Amino acid sequence: MSELLCHLNHDPPNVLCITEHHLCHEELAAFHVENYILGSSYCRQLKLKSGVCIFVQNNLKFTALNIDEYCIDQDIEVCAIHLHSTRNKLCILAIYRSPQGNFNTFLNKLDLVVQKFFNLNFTLVVCGDVSVNYLMESHKKAELNRIFQSFNLSSIVNFPTRISPNSSSTIDNFFIANLYINEFDISPSINGLSDHDGQILKIQFAQQQSNNQSILYKRNINQYTITDFLLKLSHETWTSVFEGDDVNTVFNAFLNIFLRHYYSSFPMIKVNKLLKRNTWITTGIRTSCHQKREMYMELKTNNNPLLKKNYKDYCRILTIVIKQAKKMDFDKHIKNSSNLMKTSWNLINKELGTGQKTMEFNH
């Protein structure tokens, strides 16, 4: 996942939809993506591997929508969230269908899921691996289109998402409302992390006017304002505190003096709440990721054993470099910290994904 973040670092998506994560509930709960929080997921109940999940940037509000009742291992695996940051009542669904699954069951369950949210007036974005090749006409493609078009949804991926030396196909797709059919941009995300290429969808929805999530207020506390606060306290005579007889009166006098200087020295300031960038992602790592992507694209159409070996070696070295870069970045933060214990625990919690604010869930 660290390498995926390197590829996306220049413009991190608001939402990450992942199919075939291959994790069980416990493993997925412990899985951390920096600057994201697990929004919704489905893990297989009886069979191994596959599954779907959605990660949301941790500065966005959302509701997890529980639709496990519609999921059947291999036939249809789906999860959903309601994203609160738009006026469109946006619902995002991540979906996976195994090629070995029952296609009729998939269609029936998919129809029920989409109808459920369509009736609730959600604006729908459906994405994932449906194991139906949209580069060629077929009965399965026609049946799937029939269901989506009945809810005013259309497929928008028109490029191959899985390429091998002998074939190419578009089995990963996005289905969006026809209302936005001319207002989106979609492109492949070729990263060499899977035999499927990712897709990046950019679409502009109307933003909510109230409760701007990008701005927050906090006290201006630094070494200069702290010095000013201590200076004001040192000049205070505390006469009303020392000469008082009643405990409540003395306490109130002390608190009033303390808060007066506190508010004076530490005023509220407005700051932009920006998504924290991964400081360990260097120019060299971004260049190496780009080079790996170039090698991967060449390997797609070339079965040369030497090229395959070089690519595997490059991937192994890049993984080591990324781990070392993160270690060096952590060491730098600790070395430059005035509170080693606090900084160490902040780094540990950040890496483990603990201590993040809990989003609203609906189970």
Model pTM score: 0.66
Q: Which residue has the higher pLDDT, 6 or 319?
A: 319
Question: Is the pLDDT score of 214 beyond 60?
Answer: no
| pLDDT of 276 strictly over 80 | no
Q: Which DSSP state fits 122?
A: P
Cβ atoms of 207 and 85 within 8 Å: the answer is: yes
Residue 210 banded pLDDT, cuts 50, 70, 90: very low
pLDDT range class, residue 8, cuts 50, 70, 90? low
Asked if residue 289 has pLDDT above 70, the reply is yes
d(CA 121, CA 113): 13
Question: How many residues can be counted in the chain?
Answer: 363
Query: Which carries the bigger pLDDT value, residue 80 or residue 289?
Result: 80
pLDDT digits (tens, 9 = 90+) for 53-79: 999 988 888 999 999 999 999 999 999
In whole angstroms, what is the distance from residue 64 CA to residue 81 CA?
Answer: 5
| Integer Cα distance of 187 and 201 in angstroms | 7
Report pLDDT for 9. Answer: 64
Q: Would you say residue 273 has pLDDT above 70?
A: no
Which band of pLDDT confidence, cut at 50, 70 and 90, is reported for residue 360?
very low
Instruction: Please indicate whether residue 21 or residue 356 has the higher confidence score (pLDDT).
Output: 21
Burial classification of residue 276, based on how many CB atoms lie within 10 Å of its CB (0-12 exposed, 13-18 middle, 19 or more buried): exposed
Mean pLDDT on 237-255? 89
pLDDT score for 7: 61
Question: What's the confidence (pLDDT) of residue 361?
Answer: 40
What domains can be seen in the chain, in order of their start residue?
2-203 (3.60.10.10), 215-272 (no CATH), 283-355 (no CATH)
Cα–Cα distance measured from residue 194 to residue 142, given in angstroms and rounded to the nearest whole number:
28
Is the pLDDT higher at 267 or at 351?
267
Nearest in space to 278 (alpha carbons), one of 237, 321, 325: 325
Work out the average pLDDT over 163-186: 85
d(CA 292, CA 315): 7
Comparing 19-33, 167-181, 201-215, which segment has the lowest mean pLDDT?
201-215
Percentage above 90 pLDDT, the chain: 33
For 16-51, the pLDDT digits (tens) are 999 998 899 888 888 888 888 999 999 998 888 899
Q: Can you tell me the distance from the alpha carbon of 264 to that of 261, in angstroms, rounded to the nearest whole number? A: 5
Please give the share of the chain, as a percent, with pLDDT higher than 70: 88
Question: According to the model, what pLDDT value does residue 131 have?
Answer: 93
| Intra-chain end-to-end CA distance of the chain, in Å | 27
pLDDT of residue 155: 93
> What are 206's two structure tokens?
């109307």
Question: What is d(CA 1, CA 20) in angstroms, rounded to the nearest whole number?
Answer: 14
What is residue 212's predicted lDDT score, i.e. its pLDDT? 45
Tokens read off for 169: 């196909």
Looking at per-residue pLDDT, the higher value among 179 and 261 belongs to 261
- The model's confidence at residue 129, banded by pLDDT at 50, 70 and 90, is very high
Q: Is 245 helix (H, G, I), strand (E, B) or coil?
A: coil
pLDDT value at position 3? Answer: 63
Q: How confident is the model at residue 359 (pLDDT cuts 50, 70, 90)?
A: very low
